[in-house]
């Protein structure tokens, strides 16, 4: 009898799977039929009109056939306000949105589930605003800590970037909105970004700068991708056949649209034939764009075939049917409490506790009568700014407001500005011009600190100091902030330093002289509430640094090798695969704070690392398990990081490479058994000689750590 039931269940399961797959084939066949039907009806002029911008973020549709235009929009921190031509605000009252924490903050959560929620909510807000392609997520590798867009991007590690990118894209596209992963590829500096040629070997490109884009396309099926402004090996990314045709469209089977960065197209025939599908830009005479009249002329002259044009139209219609022309798409939503909760959860999990040696944190309000809140960054708002990354937040809770919300009347708050974070970049900017202490403001801050039981000093950058279109010149804390910290610390033994920024700064003196240091970010609409909850212990900090903080800039690979910002419009990635911690660990250079570092209000004890087997074939997955016990009195979220190392490798390899991680919530006194999995194929290196991925047989070390330099357990496996 049982066998009969089992057999019939198996048949039902098969039928259901077959039906689903059959339905999918049906629907893709039906879609193909629809698309080719439309292509047959379009005139050449109508096709050309679909291949270039006709407004600052939009393209023309073909009203005659009921084809709508495509509307794109920025940006990584939220759906931006509507603009008029020329990038001026449209000054509407209907376009405010949720301000999500910046990219490196999301990376500092090490939580792909939050990346999904970020994408999901961003997608809902985009749909509500009728923006069919979000120019999000941005995740170029942090190669130099000076890059102005480090705050927009994720981390220095391709694996961490990949895991977050996949979930962000899944979240956005689940709402019938196209993600546009950017900037493809190797756009790792702002200096001369529009002209510089990145020179790097194939292994470096494949192992470091492409993986997150490959994951977004092949695992999350990203519907659009933005070609970067820069060149790679002398050819602009927007017309680079190796990048766009060979790798993206042929190898990765990308079915969507390659969109140029704004004003990043440099030719008609080359760009059209080498893989660009849609030319975007802002202003100017749109009919003179490379993909407008010049492309029409080039087709008529036989320099660009109709097949090439039709392939672009196919891609654009394919994306339209998934977005603006989707049948019964999800409803859009804007500024909902759920979106605020997502912004809060990301902010709360992004904050990194760097130092707490006097245990001033969490704050014990029982014996706290007054606290001095000092620093421009305590009242600064971070939602606007940064060109494509500005968002008109419906609201933003500042750090001061968050503490006022949480402390209420119980504790007297003495605020002092301490410094002015005003920075208007000049063409010939010399950073130290903006680094003069304001003695009057410092005196006021010292007075506030003297009369308070505790002082919390907010320093760091802001959305002008860190921005697209320019890199910082050094890692110095600007606006005389260091002098402020020194002066306040000298008069109040209970001084806490909170750094608010999106990229590494020189915290050397603070690390040495201050007992309590917290790193926060441009942390979204709920910034102040999340920070206050961490400082007060309602949230146990669980952020882990997404990039290395060098003791000195010259310790960073691109600077150690004098390989930034390049000369004669060429920047050679001399460090190769040794970017970030790969460099510091391989060259045995002590960083100020390492990749993956962060403390907690509790402590964790790790037991031994075990693997499922001691030897694996290349087709298998390595499973590793380690028990982690929370030995303190606070529940906490710990991120177990699993790195691999290859002793006696046939090729140069980094000292260690991140290949898995898992963030687990562990109640006080409890033990979690954490299991991680690494596909053996992920151990491969890219061989420049054969242009193939190679999994070297032999022994590999697995290193389980609380950070890249705090290794808790190791195990070895053999790959047959
Ligand atoms: C910019 C940026 C890009 C942005 C686009 C539209 O220059 O590089 O990230 O999405 O233009 O604002």
How far does residue 229's CA lie from ligand 1's centre (Å)?
9
How far does residue 596's CA lie from ligand 1's centre (Å)?
29
Q: Classify 663 as helix, strand or coil.
A: strand
User: Tokens 């503490």 belong to which residue?
Assistant: 403
Residue closest via CA to ligand 1's atom 11 equals: 262
Distance CA 347, CA 345 (A): 5
Report the pLDDT value the prediction gives residue 16, as an integer from 0 to 100: 66
Which atom in ligand 1 lies closest to the alpha carbon of residue 183?
Answer: 9
| pLDDT, tens digit, 9 for 90 and up, residues 577-616 | 999 999 999 999 999 999 999 999 999 999 999 999 999 9
How far does residue 74's CA lie from ligand 1's centre (Å)?
7
Which atom in ligand 1 lies closest to the alpha carbon of residue 264?
Answer: 7
Distance CA 247, CA 241 (A): 9
Which atom in ligand 1 lies closest to the alpha carbon of residue 387?
Answer: 12
Report the pLDDT value the prediction gives residue 434, as an integer from 0 to 100: 73
Most ligand 1 atoms within 8 A of CB, residue of 261, 283, 391 to mutate: 261
DSSP 491: H
CB 421 within 8 A of CB 462: yes
Q: Strand 178-184 relative to strand 370-374: parallel, antiparallel, unpaired?
A: unpaired
Closest CA to 188 of 164, 205, 167: 205
CB 153 within 8 A of CB 137: no
How far does residue 572's CA lie from ligand 1's centre (Å)?
24
How far does residue 85's CA lie from ligand 1's centre (Å)?
15
Distance CA 458, CA 496 (A): 9
Distance in Å from the first CA to the final CA of the chain: 45
Q: Which residues are catalytic?
A: 261
Q: Encoding tokens for residue 36?
A: 């080719």
CB 270 within 8 A of CB 37: no
Which atom in ligand 1 lies closest to the alpha carbon of residue 74?
Answer: 10
How far does residue 348's CA lie from ligand 1's centre (Å)?
28
Q: Which residues does residue 495 pair with via DSSP β-bridges, in sequence order?
A: 455
Report the pLDDT value the prediction gives residue 522, as an integer from 0 to 100: 98
Q: To the nearest 10°, the Cα dihedral for 569, 570, 571, 577? A: 150
Report the pLDDT value the prediction gives residue 105, as an integer from 0 to 100: 99
Distance CA 522, CA 388 (A): 15
CB 586 within 8 A of CB 654: yes
DSSP 526: T
How far does residue 83's CA lie from ligand 1's centre (Å)?
14
Which atom in ligand 1 lies closest to the alpha carbon of residue 388?
Answer: 12
Q: To the nearest 10°, the Cα dihedral for 213, 216, 217, 221? A: -170
Which atom in ligand 1 lies closest to the alpha carbon of residue 152?
Answer: 9
How far does residue 534's CA lie from ligand 1's centre (Å)?
34
Q: Encoding tokens for residue 201?
A: 């070997």
CB 126 within 8 A of CB 172: yes
DSSP run (H or E) holding 687: strand 685-687
Report the pLDDT value the prediction gives residue 388, as an integer from 0 to 100: 87
Residue closest via CA to ligand 1's atom 2 equals: 388
User: Tokens 């070297």 belong to which residue?
Assistant: 696
Residue closest via CA to ligand 1's atom 12 equals: 388
* Cα–Cα separations (whole angstroms), residue 719 to 421, 647, 651, 675: 54, 13, 16, 20
* Chunked mean pLDDT (size 10), the chain, 720 residues: 67 67 78 97 98 97 97 98 90 96 99 99 98 98 98 99 99 98 98 98 98 99 98 99 98 98 98 98 94 98 98 98 95 97 99 98 95 98 93 98 94 97 71 82 98 98 96 96 98 98 98 98 98 98 99 98 98 98 98 98 98 98 98 98 98 98 98 98 97 98 98 98
Most ligand 1 atoms within 8 A of CB, residue of 78, 87, 103, 262 to mutate: 262
Q: Classify 376 as helix, strand or coil.
A: helix
Distance CA 703, CA 615 (A): 16
Closest CA to 216 of 176, 172, 246: 172
Most ligand 1 atoms within 8 A of CB, residue of 229, 468, 470, 471 to mutate: 468
Report the pLDDT value the prediction gives residue 428, as an integer from 0 to 100: 56
User: Tokens 């050449």 belong to which residue?
Assistant: 44
Q: How many CA atoms lie within 13 A of 430 on its CB side?
A: 3
Report the pLDDT value the prediction gives residue 283, as an integer from 0 to 100: 84
Q: Encoding tokens for residue 561?
A: 């090798």
Distance CA 405, CA 529 (A): 8
Q: What burial letters (b/e) apply to 300-317, b meaning 16+ CB within 10 Å?
A: eeeebeeebbbebbbbbb
How far does residue 261's CA lie from ligand 1's centre (Å)?
6
Which atom in ligand 1 lies closest to the alpha carbon of residue 469?
Answer: 7
Q: Which residues does ligand 1 sit against, CB inside 6 Å?
A: 74, 135, 182, 261-262, 387-388
How far does residue 190's CA lie from ligand 1's centre (Å)?
12
Phi, psi of 548 (to 5 degrees): -75, 140
Residue closest via CA to ligand 1's atom 4 equals: 388
Conformational region of residue 176, where left means phi above 0, alpha means psi within -120 to 50, and beta covers everything else: left
Which atom in ligand 1 lies closest to the alpha carbon of residue 75?
Answer: 10
Q: Classify 611 as helix, strand or coil.
A: strand
How far does residue 37's CA lie from ligand 1's centre (Å)?
34
Q: Encoding tokens for residue 635?
A: 């529940």
Q: Strand 636-645 relative to strand 685-687: parallel, antiparallel, unpaired?
A: unpaired
| pLDDT, tens digit, 9 for 90 and up, residues 606-634 | 999 999 999 999 999 999 999 999 999 99
Helix 337-350 and helix 112-128, axial crossing angle in degrees, nearest 10: 150
Q: How many CA atoms lie within 13 A of 445 on its CB side?
A: 31
Q: Strand 636-645 relative to strand 657-666: parallel, antiparallel, unpaired?
A: antiparallel
What single string gives the DSSP state of each residue in 615-653? EE-TTSEEEEEEEEEE-SSS-EEEEEEEEEE-TT-SS--
Distance CA 645, CA 659 (A): 10
Distance CA 21, CA 27 (A): 10
Most ligand 1 atoms within 8 A of CB, residue of 387, 389, 471 to mutate: 387
CA 264 to chain centre: 22
């Amino acid at each position: 009898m049982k066998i009969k039931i089992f057999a019939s269940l198996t048949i039902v399961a098969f039928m259901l799977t077959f039906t689903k797959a059959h339905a999918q084939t049906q629907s893709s066949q039906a879609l193909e039929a629809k698309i080719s039907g439309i292509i047959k009806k379009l005139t050449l002029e109508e096709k050309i009109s679909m291949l270039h911008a006709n407004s600052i973020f939009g393209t023309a549709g073909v009203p005659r056939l009921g084809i709508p235009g495509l509307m794109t929009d920025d940006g990584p921190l939220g759906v931006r306000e509507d603009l008029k031509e020329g990038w001026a605000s449209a000054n509407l009252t209907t376009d405010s949105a949720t301000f999500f924490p910046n990219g490196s903050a999301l990376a500092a959560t090490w939580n792909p589930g939050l990346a999904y929620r970020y994408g999901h909510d961003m997608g809902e807000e985009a749909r509500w605003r009728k923006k069919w392609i979000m120019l999000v997520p941005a995740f170029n590798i942090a190669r130099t800590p000076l890059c102005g867009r480090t705050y927009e991007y994720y981390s220095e590690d391709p694996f961490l970037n990949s895991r977050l990118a996949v979930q962000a894209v899944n979240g956005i596209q689940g709402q019938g909105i196209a993600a546009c992963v950017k900037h493809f590829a190797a756009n790792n500096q702002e200096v001369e970004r529009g002209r510089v040629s990145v020179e790097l070997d194939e292994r470096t490109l494949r192992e470091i700068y492409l993986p997150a884009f490959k994951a977004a396309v092949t695992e999350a099926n990203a519907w659009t991708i933005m070609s970067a402004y820069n060149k790679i090996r002398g050819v602009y990314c927007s017309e680079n056949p190796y990048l766009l045709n060979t790798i993206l469209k042929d190898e990765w089977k990308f079915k969507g649209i390659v969109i140029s960065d704004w004003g990043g197209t440099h030719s008609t025939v080359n760009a059209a034939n080498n893989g660009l599908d849609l030319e975007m830009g802002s202003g100017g005479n749109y009919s003179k764009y490379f993909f407008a009249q010049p492309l029409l002329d080039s087709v008529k002259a036989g320099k660009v075939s109709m097949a090439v044009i039709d392939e672009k139209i196919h891609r654009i219609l394919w994306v339209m049917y998934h977005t603006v022309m989707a049948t019964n798409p999800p409803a859009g939503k804007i500024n909902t409490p759920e979106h605020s909760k997502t912004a809060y959860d990301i902010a709360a999990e992004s904050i990194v506790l760097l130092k707490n040696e006097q245990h001033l944190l969490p704050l014990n309000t029982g014996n706290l009568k007054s606290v001095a809140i000092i620093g421009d960054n305590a009242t600064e708002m971070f939602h606007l700014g940064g060109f494509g990354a500005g968002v008109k937040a419906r609201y933003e809770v500042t750090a001061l407001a968050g503490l006022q919300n949480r402390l209420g009347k119980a504790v007297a708050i003495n605020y002092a500005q301490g410094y002015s974070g005003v920075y208007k970049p000049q063409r010939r900017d010399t950073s130290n011009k903006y680094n003069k202490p304001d003695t009057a403001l410092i005196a006021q801050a010292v007075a506030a600190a003297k009369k308070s039981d505790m002082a919390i000093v907010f320093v760091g950058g802001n959305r002008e100091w860190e921005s697209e279109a320019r890199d910082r010149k050094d890692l110095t804390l600007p606006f005389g902030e260091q002098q402020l910290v020194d002066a306040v610390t000298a008069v109040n033994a209970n001084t806490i330093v909170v750094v608010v920024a999106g990229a590494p700064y020189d915290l050397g003196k603070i690390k040495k002289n201050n007992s309590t240091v917290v790193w926060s970010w441009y942390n979204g609409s709920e910034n102040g509430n999340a920070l206050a909850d961490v400082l007060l212990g309602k949230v146990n900090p669980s952020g882990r640094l997404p990039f290395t903080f060098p003791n000195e800039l010259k310790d960073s690979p691109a600077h150690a090798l004098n390989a930034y910002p390049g000369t004669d419009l060429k920047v050679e990635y001399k460090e190769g695969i040794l970017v970030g911690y790969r460099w510091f660990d391989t060259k045995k250079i002590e960083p100020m704070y390492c990749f993956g570092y962060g403390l907690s209000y509790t402590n964790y004890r790790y037991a031994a690392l075990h693997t499922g087997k001691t030897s694996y074939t290349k087709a298998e997955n390595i499973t590793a398990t380690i028990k982690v016990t929370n030995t303190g009195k606070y529940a906490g979220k710990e991120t177990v990081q699993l790195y691999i190392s290859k002793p006696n490798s046939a090729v140069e390899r980094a000292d260690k490479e991140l290949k898995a991680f898992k963030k687990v919530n562990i109640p006080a006194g409890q033990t979690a058994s954490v299991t991680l999995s690494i596909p053996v194929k992920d151990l491969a290196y890219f061989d420049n000689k054969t242009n193939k991925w190679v999994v070297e047989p032999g022994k590999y070390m697995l290193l389980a750590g609380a950070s890249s330099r705090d290794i808790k357990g190791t195990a070895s496996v053999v790959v047959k």
